[in-house]
Structure 1
Amino acid sequence: MIDVIIIGKGPAGISAALYTQRANLATLIISRDGSSLDKAAKIENYYGLEEPISGKELLEIGEKQARRLGVEILKEEVIGITYLYDEKCFKVSTEKSEHYSRTVLIATGQPQKRIAIDGLEDFEGKGVSYCTTCDGFFYRDMSVGVIGNGAYAVHEAMELEAFTKDITLFTHGADLDITGELADKAGRFKINTRPILKLSGDEFLQEIHFKDGTSQKIDGLFVAYGTASSVDFAQKLGIITENNAIVVDNGQSTNIEGVFAAGDCTGGFKQISVAVGQGAVAGKSIIEFVRHMKK
């Protein structure tokens, strides 16, 4: 077991890692490439830059700095976070591996935009859900679906197996983008690759309509399109969110002991300088938390 797992290798995550690693806390960062900062052509409003620098360059500098101090950085997609009560630690699952830590810092940036499907928002809370852990129980022995074509979607479908065996993966016209062990596990579910036109029902969701004119009856539909966002992780752990952001205190702690959040995922002024500052505060809080645990 290590001391801290940081999900996200942007300014907030790297900043926190610099503090935790220097405090001799075993630190692992898990994150895929492709953040919004990675696409920024020029950064001109960050302290210490004499000349403009691209977001990609800034991220590379931060990553090299963290590695130089001994931080391990794993380029994988996180698909789930679970608290193990018997071991008193967190299990962080990726599409390839599992890791265990005393604390977790969520620094995954702003949640991605939800997929645009006619009727999706109309049936939120009425058959459409974004959290299998929260709502799977209500669909025992019913017909349910998961929208998505990647590792996160397969993980969510596997979560639903505790409640029902009638599970369909709806890829919305995309090919399945899964490799390794999860690709084998995806074979346990029905796969529907047709593009979705709309959702329909009376008071609750009843049917999915496809662009080819066909339709399918459904009781519940879980959205897991793309990769898991900070809010997805928060909801599953019981973390309080507000306005699509994670609620934290002055020390970047959430309402769940041992879980911290920093950067754009906490809302507010979305700037690199703010994310770096929050990461530093989170790092300090994590250090104090872990040292108290080890006493």
Structure 2
Amino acid sequence: MAVHTTKMLIIGSGPAGLSAAIYGARAGMKPIVVQGIQPGGQLTITTDVENYPGFRDVVQGPWLMQEMQAQAEHVGTRMMWDTITEVVMDQGSPFRAIGDGGDEYVGDTLVIATGAQAKWLSVPGEAELGGKGVSACATCDGFFYRGKKVAVIGGGNTAVEEALYLTNHSDDVTLIHRRDELRSEKILQDRLFASDKITPMWNKVVERFEGEGKLTHLVLRDTETGEESTLDVDGAFVAIGHAPATELFKGKLPMDDSGYLLIEPGTPKTSIPGVFACGDVMDHTYRQAVTAAGTGCMAALDAERFLATVEFAAQEAAE
């Protein structure tokens, strides 16, 4: 089993982790990125990307992440194909992470960029029509449904916010909820009920997504009568929440009730000096590739400052 050492250890290889790596490498920290079970993050399962700055035409998510990785490697990042199963940080810097093959990664600083995954319904047709009418991000994909008929599935804040956002593109938005009342904040409910573009559909669950090559309709089941019905749509947005990948850090770092890592407001700093969190693992509000990349940059800059402070203190103590 090998031991890999670095000034900056990054767990996660989405836009946040790779942006941190680019900035860290350019600062001479020779970062190591442990890629995890989904190298490249959620963008690798996203087809058309139209809202990432710098590209006039639509680009493909997997291609964009390949380019980010190539850029990170070009400036000096080491990429590791491994999945972390344990993190040791209670003794402070240096921090240790253990891979599932037994390799050990040791970093003077630690950047957590493990991301979050959208929760899915896990019903027939959902995976097959993903990116072909089925999405979990209206902000990412709503633009592609201008003037078309769309549905949002869910009843919490996320679902209502997605439905309201989609009215910027569609005059025919259906909100499908399994109960007869919403769980979202009242102010959001008031905005939704005031919209003449949104039609709530109560006591319904999606049994399956159907269409040949692209989504054409939903098969719904009434939760009270059991009766099935269909709803013709061009796009459907599953909005039942996200699950941050923070299992490794339970009991080690503070989290909110939903499992997102808590950071010092306006910074990527966690409660442990030298440990930083960036991207969707700490952001339950925006969840965009560009905001994730921005917080990755912040994490790298703060990691560099942390190391400079530690090294300066060590020099003073030696004198």
Instruction: With the length of structure 1 as denominator, give the TM-score of the two structures.
Output: 0.58
Tell me which residue corresponds to 2:307.
Answer: 290
**Same amino acid, percent of matched pairs:** 25
Match of 2:97 in 1: 92
The residue that corresponds to 1:135 in the other structure is none
Alignment of 1:68-107 (within 5 A): 68-83=74-89, 85=91, 88-96=93-101, 97-107=103-113
Residues 115/104 of structure 1: CA separation in 2 closer, same or farther (3 Å cut): farther
| Alpha-carbon distance in 2 for matches of 1:88, 1:27 | 15
Please state whether the residue corresponding to 2:110 is helix, strand or coil.
strand
Instruction: Summarize the alignment of residues 115-130 of structure 1 with structure 2, pairs less than 5 Å apart.
Output: none
Secondary structure at the counterpart of residue 239 of structure 1: coil
Query: Hey, what does 1:3 align to over in structure 2?
Result: 7
Equivalent residue pairs, number? 183
Contact 2:14 2:42 in 1 (8 A): no
1:41-70 deviation per Cα after TM superposition (whole angstroms, max 9, x unaligned): 110011111111111001000000000001
C-alpha distance in structure 2 between counterparts of 1:77 and 1:70, whole Å: 21
Q: Distance in 1 between matches of 2:278 and 2:54?
A: 22
**Unpaired runs of 5+ in structure 1?**
117-227
Q: Distance in 1 between matches of 2:111 and 2:9?
A: 6
Query: How far apart are the structure 2 equivalents of 1:234 and 1:8?
Result: 14
Aligned to 2:250: 235
Shift of 1:88: 3.8
Find 2:261's aligned residue among 246, 256, 269. 246
Q: Following TM superposition, by how much is the alpha carbon of 1:107 offset from its aligned partner in structure 2, in angstroms?
A: 0.5
Taking a change above 3 Å as real, the CA distance of residues 80 and 241 of structure 1, as seen in their structure-2 partners, is: farther
Q: CA deviation at 1:18?
A: 1.1
Offset from partner CA, 1:167-212 (integer Å, 9 cap, x none)? xxxxxxxxxxxxxxxxxxxxxxxxxxxxxxxxxxxxxxxxxxxxxx
Shift in Å at residue 33 of structure 1?
5.2
Report what 1:43 is aligned to: 49
- Residues 234 and 241, structure 1, Cα contact 8 Å, conserved in 2: no
CA distance in 1, matches of 2:276, 2:35: 16
Tell me if 1:62 matches 2:79: no
Unaligned residue ranges in structure 2 (runs of 5+): 123-242, 313-319
Residue aligned with 1:4, SS: strand
The CA distance in 1 between the partners of 2:53 and 2:42, in whole Å, is 20
Q: How do 1:13-32 residues align onto structure 2 when only pairs under 5 Å count?
A: 13-32=17-36
Over aligned residues, Cα RMSD in angstroms?
2.3
Checking the alignment, whether the CA contact within 8 Å between 1:11 and 1:276 is kept in structure 2 is: yes
CA contact (8 A) 1:106 1:230 kept: no
For the 8 Å contact 2:8–2:110, the answer to whether it is kept is: yes
Q: Is the 8 A contact 1:253 1:259 kept in 2?
A: yes
Larger radius of gyration: 2
- Matches of 1:284 and 1:242 in 2, distance apart? 28
User: What's the TM-score, normalizing by structure 2?
Assistant: 0.53
Partner Cα distance (1:235, 1:106) in 2: 13
Distance across 2 between alignment mates of 1:112 and 1:231 = 14
Encode CA deviations 1:119-174: one digit per residue, 9 max, x unaligned. xxxxxxxxxxxxxxxxxxxxxxxxxxxxxxxxxxxxxxxxxxxxxxxxxxxxxxxx
